[in-house]
Structure 1
Amino acid sequence: MARRKKIYEGKAKILYEGPEPGTFVQYFKDDATAFNAQKKDVIEGKGVLNNRLSEFFMQGLTNIGVPNHFIRRINMREQLIRQVEIIPLEVIVRNFAAGSLSKRLGMEEGTALPRPIVEYSYKNDALGDPMVSEEYVVAFGWANQQDLDDIVSLALRVNDFLSGVFYAVGIKLVDFKIEVGRIWDGDFMRLIVADEISPDSCRLWDVKSGRKLDKDVFRRDLGDLADAYSEVARRLGVLPAQTTHLTKPTLIN
């Protein structure tokens, strides 16, 4: 079998050349990182679960007409995606105060925000992904004003969808981040949701207990990350309800 060409490797995923022009194969690793990769570990089965969860969310977005890069899941760790030109921004949507927002503004974690807030950070690991304003984004040519309007629209539609899906299973969507990419149909350019949607990219709290079910479990040494992600998957129906550990998950097709 011919060795696949690696296109890019990040902290949690690897992109390989796809079987057809305009496609990539996205491989989910078991690596867990925090604080710009200063804290690292390998959580067995994490990549398997995030692959399936991202598939679940991307298919849900497709069903409501939100364009995204997902084509199909290939196997337990890989999915076929559209090749996109990634805009070098992390698009962050916040519904409740937490993390860096709480620190910046001195707000108690969990405080409900007056409305969803959309923020941007510049994707640059060496700089620690600094927060940037729309003025920076336009001035440096990362996106134009129309792009930003479309990105905000996409982000808020994703927020509406995810908030409803999570709340239905007793989970509060505190905040999340997405990436957005450009694709072309002839001369026509479209913006679509890319990268992944998983507990790695969302801040999730149990509605009743406040228990954290996201990567903050790893960041703050709050327990077993595998158990937290498994709980999310069980509630969403991605894992069978009787599954108790993520080491060798049995996923529902």
Structure 2
Amino acid sequence: MATNEAGEILYEGKAKQVFATDDPQVLLHRYKDDATAYNAAKRGSWEGKGRTNAMMSAAIFKYLEEHGVPTHFISQEDETSITTKNLQMLPVEVVVRNVAAGSLSRLIGIEEGTPLSAPIVELCLKSDELGDPMLTHAHFRELGVPEDDLMFCEELGLRVNELLTSFFDEKGIILVDFKIEVGRDPGGELMLADEISPDTCRFWDKETGEKLDKDRFRRDMGGVEEAYAEMLRRVTG
């Protein structure tokens, strides 16, 4: 049963709504069934998407917390909602890649599906208007992001990758790549934010190579609803 009632809506994005609660330090995230791709140029919706993203994120945040990774997660309120700490977000998207896919294949000319010799961490500016460009540390410093924060983002990305690569491998899944975000709490501590779901990760079946993520929607492959349901099943049992 929910313990935090949704108050004023603070933000509505492509796939979720964020509400204030009666505690100013706590936010309520409600995940939607809506989907977008290519910077919202493509739109769609399917039943159960919000449920998958909320429940997967809750389960994985709990797992990461148990293994020493600080996150914004507080509790799962219902099947489509979680509560989190109210953070000041960095304008940074942290992308970690283990296998060449998507934009990386196009950027450096490596065939999709090629395992990388070591994980690659990319730091991108969180800006829909600019298309979330990948920037160097010097660019971010020019925008006022401290070097220590950038280093934390990279180290956090690699730590999360180490834990989740093993976590998903045990469930028969290759963690191809993922995106996370980082925020700072009122005490100054940086921590993992955003979500861990088929919207923000590429998941491939270890045996068949079947894509079990939003690429099925991006590329009009069909079976999107089934892929999300399968990922939820594997994560939550």
- Give TM class, smaller chain: over 0.9
SS at match of 1:87: strand
Q: Is 1:175 aligned to residue 174 of structure 2?
A: no
Q: How many angstroms apart in 2 are the aligned matches of 1:133 and 1:98?
A: 21
SS at match of 2:23: coil
Number of residue equivalences: 233
TM superposition shift of 1:21: 2.2
List 4+ stretches of structure 1 deviating above 6 A.
none
Q: Is 1:15 aligned to residue 18 of structure 2?
A: yes
Compute the TM-score of the two structures, normalised by the length of structure 1: 0.89
Partner of 2:158: 156
Aligned match of 2:51 in 48, 53, 66? 48
Per-residue CA deviations over 1:187-214 (Å, capped at 9, x if unaligned) read xx11100011111100111111110001
Per-residue CA deviations over 1:29-52 (Å, capped at 9, x if unaligned) read 111110001110111110011100
Which residue type is aligned with residue 11 of structure 1?
Answer: K
Q: How many angstroms apart in 2 are the aligned matches of 1:146 and 1:127?
A: 24
Per-residue CA deviations over 1:82-130 (Å, capped at 9, x if unaligned) read 0001111110000111100100111101111121111011111112111
CA contact (8 A) 1:18 1:80 kept: no
Aligned match of 2:102 in 83, 99, 104? 99
Q: Is 1:166 aligned to residue 165 of structure 2?
A: no
Aligned match of 1:86 in 72, 86, 89? 89
Q: How many angstroms apart in 2 are the aligned matches of 1:176 and 1:206?
A: 15
Aligned match of 2:78 in 59, 75, 80? 75
Unaligned stretches of 5+ in structure 1?
Answer: 240-253
Q: Is 1:224 aligned to residue 231 of structure 2?
A: no
Q: Is 1:109 aligned to residue 112 of structure 2?
A: yes
SS at match of 1:169: coil
Partner of 1:195: 194
TM superposition shift of 1:15: 0.5
SS at match of 1:80: strand
SS at match of 1:93: strand
Q: Is 1:29 aligned to residue 28 of structure 2?
A: no
Which residue type is aligned with residue 229 of structure 1?
Answer: Y
* 1:167–1:20 CA distance, 2 compared to 1 (3 A): same
Unaligned stretches of 5+ in structure 2?
Answer: none
The sequence identity of aligned pairs, in percent, is 46
CA contact (8 A) 2:48 2:229 kept: no
Compute the TM-score of the two structures, normalised by the length of structure 2: 0.95
Coordinate RMSD, CA, aligned? 1.2
